[in-house]
Amino acid sequence: MDSIWFEILVVILSVMLAIFLIVGIATGILIYKISKEAKRLIEQTTNVAEQAEKLATNFAKSAAPLAFVKFLFNLRKEKQK
């Protein structure tokens, strides 16, 4: 009589272990995919930040000459009046 209960217990534990392993493997795969996507997103964000920094540097370099040209243009307008 006891051996039947032990066999039932073994079957129940085996099924629970199988379910746990399947869920664990699926979770591991999802975590891997999410981390891979996060890595790609971080690379893109870094790329955008670098491009924005280059754009700001170029704008800063060209802002001074443009301000000077605008100043000269305004002087010319004042002389024409």
- Rounded Cα gap, residues 70 and 62, in angstroms: 12
Q: Report DSSP state, residue 1.
A: -
pLDDT reading at 81 higher than 70: no
pLDDT band at 61 (very low <50, low <70, confident <90, very high): confident
**Strand, helix or coil at 81?**
coil
Residue range 7-17, pLDDT digits in tens: 999 999 999 99
- Rounded Cα gap, residues 28 and 38, in angstroms: 15
Residue range 21-49, pLDDT digits in tens: 999 999 999 999 999 999 999 999 999 99
Mean of pLDDT over the chain: 89
